[in-house]
Structure 1
Amino acid sequence: MATLDVPGARLHYEVRGQGPLVALVGAPMHAESFAPLAELLADGYTVLTTDPRGINRSPVDDPDQDSTPPVRADDLSRILAHLDAGPAVVLGSSGGAVTALAFAQAHPEQVHTVIAHEPPLVELLEDRDKLQAGTDDQIATYLAGDVVGAWAKFMAQANIHFPDGVLEMMFGGERDPQQVVDERRWFAHEMSATIRWQPDLAALRSSGVRFVVGIGSDSAEQLCDRASRALAAELGVEPTMFPGGHIGFVDDPGAFAPVLRAVLREGVALDGGVG
Structure 2
Amino acid sequence: MAETDTRTLETAGATLRYDVRAGTGSHPRPLLLIGSPMDATGFTTLASHFADRTVVTYDPRGVGRSVRTDGAAETRPEEHADDLARLIEDLGTGPVDVFASSGGAVNSLALVAARGDLVHTLVAHEPPSAQVLPDREAALAVCSDVRTTYLRDGWGAGMVRFFAVVSHKGPFPADWAARPFPAPDTFGLPTEDDGKRDDPLLGQNMRGCTSYAPDFPALRAAPTRIVVAAGEESEGELAARAAAAVAQGLGTPLAVFPSNHGGFLGGEFGQHGAPEAFAKALRAALEA
What residue number does 2:18 align with? Answer: 13
Matched AA of 1:9: A
Q: 2:67 aligns to what SS in structure 1?
A: coil
35, 42, 51: which one aligns with 2:51: 42
Is 1:158 the equivalent of 2:166? yes
TM-score by length of 1: 0.87
CA distance in 1, matches of 2:281, 2:141: 36
Pairs within 5 Å for 1:1-275: 1-18=6-23, 19=27, 20-43=29-52, 45-160=53-168, 168-169=186-187, 171-172=189-190, 184-250=199-265, 251=272, 252-266=274-288
CA distance in 2, matches of 1:74, 1:89: 17
Q: Is the 8 A contact 2:184 2:190 kept in 1?
A: no
Q: Is the 8 A contact 1:122 1:227 kept in 2?
A: yes
Deviation (angstroms), 1:181:
7.5
C-alpha spacing 1:181/1:14, structure 2 compared with 1 (3 Å): farther
Q: C-alpha deviations, 1:169-202, integer Å up to 9, x for none?
A: 453379xx9xx876x1322221101111111101
Q: 2:10 aligns to what SS in structure 1?
A: strand
Q: Is the 8 A contact 2:157 2:184 kept in 1?
A: no
Deviation (angstroms), 1:157:
2.4
Q: 1:98 aligns to what SS in structure 2?
A: helix
What residue number does 1:270 align with? Answer: none
Task: Show structure 1 runs of 5+ residues with no match.
Answer: 267-275
Deviation (angstroms), 1:62:
3.0
Task: Show structure 2 runs of 5+ residues with no match.
Answer: 1-5, 170-181, 266-271
The structure in which a higher percent of residues are helix is: 1
Q: Is the 8 A contact 2:157 2:191 kept in 1?
A: no
The number of residues matched between the two structures is: 258
Q: Is the 8 A contact 2:131 2:210 kept in 1?
A: yes
Q: 1:85 aligns to what SS in structure 2?
A: coil
Q: 2:68 aligns to what SS in structure 1?
A: coil
Q: Is the 8 A contact 1:119 1:228 kept in 2?
A: yes
Deviates more, 1:193-202 or 1:11-20: 11-20
Deviation (angstroms), 1:46:
1.1
Q: 2:264 aligns to what SS in structure 1?
A: helix
C-alpha spacing 1:221/1:167, structure 2 compared with 1 (3 Å): farther
C-alpha spacing 1:205/1:169, structure 2 compared with 1 (3 Å): same
CA distance in 2, matches of 1:81, 1:42: 22
Matched AA of 1:263: A
